[in-house]
Structure 1
Amino acid sequence: MFLGGIDAGGTTINCAVAEYSSSKPNILEQKKISTSSPVETMPKILRFFESKQIDALGIACFGPVDLNINSVTYGYITTTPKLNWRDFNIVGHLKNEIKGPVGFDTDVNGAALAELKWGSAQSVESCVYLTVGTGIGGGAIVGNKLVHGLLHPEMGHVIVRRHPKDDFQGICPNHGDCLEGLTSGLAIEKRTGIKGEELKDKSATTWIIISNYLAQAVVNYILVLSPQKVILGGGVMKHDHLFPIIRKDVKQLLNSYLLKDELLDGINDYIVYPGLGEDAGLFGGFALAIEALKSEKKQ
């Protein structure tokens, strides 16, 4: 069985074909395409898949997106700040040209599902996946099911308590100083003049502030969703010196309120980097393709 996967990020769309395996899909071919505009990007995606014999396609997409299967705008990218993609029917365009069922969800929900199947969360039934890169987004699984509802989780826009040493106003166009506005790669670049992925000084006060905000967010996710694993990915989290700071701050913020070993002596194995690394989103596409096949068989 062959799967098509799309990890549609804000700057790059990663397309791939993989052969299904119970251990982990084996990638056979992949191509990265710039997320410029539908007019330029969609033909390149279709050209990649046109000669491929795939049984299903999964799209893990930047958002916000409409996931309500009964909505007239299901499969649309909706109120994204990327104006070229706003109100674009990405599922419809691909479904018209590619045979087989199409699975669709946010890029971070897809990554969470992939981590549950093949990555750092294989041993549990619930997890939170947060990517900290150019922007911040989060996906969640509870009881082996992706969290949906009114829309989908928008974990990057939670409000955090301002650090006493921080006077940065934030850059989120909607909320100013939400988590993304204070902590994303773009926010770090605005603070320091250096891209978040490239800031090398481990002792910089910026990292103390950033880690505290991320810890506050993680505590909120723990209190609301009670995940059995918290996975922090994205370009900023490649700075592995952040993990000990975040774990320490999470323990201090919880203040022994939840007496679970995972949040105490076992916290190093509780708040972790993605087992699939940078490919979590792409494998999210494969995971959504598998779910689409399962749904088709139930019908």
Structure 2
Amino acid sequence: MRLGAIEAGGTKFVCGIGDETGQISEQSRIPTTTPAVTLAAVVDFFQEHPVDAIGIGSFGPIGVNSQHRDFGYITQTPKAGWENVNFLGYMRTHLNIPIYWTTDVNVAAYGEYRLGAAKNVENLVYFTVGTGIGAGVIYQGHFLQGFNHLEAGHIFINHRADDDFSGVCPYHGDCLEGLASGPALEQRFGQPAQALAADPAVWELEADYIAQACVNYTLSYSPDRIVIGGGVMHQEQLFPLIRQAFKSQLAAYTTTPDLNNYIQRIALNDDAGLTGCLLLAKDLIDSGQTVGA
């Protein structure tokens, strides 16, 4: 069985080929330019490398409710030229195979859930801290969503009194993404995250905000595990600080698993998204879903 994966980002689309075990055999990177040019290149790739089904994880926001008219669309995105683009419809028009459609963070969550840092648990919160902050929740094998997918990277957290930074989120200012994303670090301190590695004050502050998110997710979803990925989390010194701050903030209000197991770093690294796409494509075939359903 040959399976396809599309990890669609605002900078690049990564197309992959793999098998039902999640093993990736081939990848191709396509710059995200205009929808017409980028999507045509994606179709060309899969016409040259035929597969039985494809999983797509897209940047967004996107329409994920199959009962709504915007299902399959990239909707109110700040990415110029991509608002209200019928991504899934374009793929279905040109590729006569089953296609699974969800968010980029959900596919990474699913990869970690099946084969990564959460493969032995039932309920997972996964979030990524990078250019933006996004989160996916898996409850007993299913993505948690309602009329739309989660936007749990934009939760409101306590803005520390000793932090006078106003935040970078154009919608909410000092929400989680506004205070703790990679661009927030760079604007606050004048350097990208990787250049700040030796400054403990930077990471104590960052850990405080990420721990607040973990507390909120714990109280809201009671997951078996929280897994955190993204470029900012390459700073390994963050994890002990996050666990320490989390313990203090939670204040023993409720119990959790041992924190070294409960709050973990992503295990699949850059392959999490493609791996999740492949596994979701396989699930689609196993479910018997027909083309266009």
Shift in alpha-carbon separation, 1:31–1:219, aligned structure 2, 3 A? same
The alpha-carbon deviation at position 164 of structure 1 amounts to: 2.0
RMSD: 1.5
In the aligned structure 2, how far is the partner of 1:168 from the partner of 1:259? Answer: 33
Asked if structure 1 preserves the Cα contact closer than 8 Å seen for 2:132 and 2:182, the reply is yes
Which residue number in structure 2 is paired with residue 7 of structure 1? 7
In the aligned structure 2, how far is the partner of 1:160 from the partner of 1:121? Answer: 26
| Residues 88-237 of structure 1 aligned to structure 2 (within 5 Å) | 88-203=85-200, 205-237=201-233
In the aligned structure 2, how far is the partner of 1:186 from the partner of 1:103? Answer: 31
Q: Does 142-151 or 289-298 show the bigger shift? A: 289-298
Shift in alpha-carbon separation, 1:28–1:71, aligned structure 2, 3 A? same
In the aligned structure 2, how far is the partner of 1:30 from the partner of 1:240? Answer: 28
Which residue number in structure 2 is paired with residue 285 of structure 1? 277
Which residue number in structure 2 is paired with residue 269 of structure 1? 261
The alpha-carbon deviation at position 110 of structure 1 amounts to: 1.2
The one of 230, 234, 241 equivalent to 2:237 is 241
Asked if structure 2 preserves the Cα contact closer than 8 Å seen for 1:105 and 1:288, the reply is no
In the aligned structure 2, how far is the partner of 1:27 from the partner of 1:259? Answer: 38
Q: Does 44-53 or 130-139 show the bigger shift? A: 44-53
Partner-residue secondary structure (3-state), 1:296:
coil
Task: Give the aligned length.
Answer: 291
Partner-residue secondary structure (3-state), 2:287:
helix
Asked if structure 1 preserves the Cα contact closer than 8 Å seen for 2:228 and 2:265, the reply is yes
Aligned-pair identity (%): 42
Which aligned runs of 4 or more in structure 1 are off by greater than 6 angstroms?
A: none
Q: TM-score, normalised by structure 1?
A: 0.93
Which residue number in structure 1 is paired with residue 41 of structure 2? 44
In the aligned structure 1, how far is the partner of 2:63 from the partner of 2:160? Answer: 34
In the aligned structure 2, how far is the partner of 1:50 from the partner of 1:215? Answer: 45
Q: TM-score, normalised by structure 2?
A: 0.95
Deviations 1:250-277 (A, max 9, x none): 11111111133x1xxx211111111211
| Structure 1 unpaired stretches of 5+ | none
AA partner of residue 237 (structure 1): M
Partner-residue secondary structure (3-state), 1:191:
helix
The alpha-carbon deviation at position 279 of structure 1 amounts to: 1.3
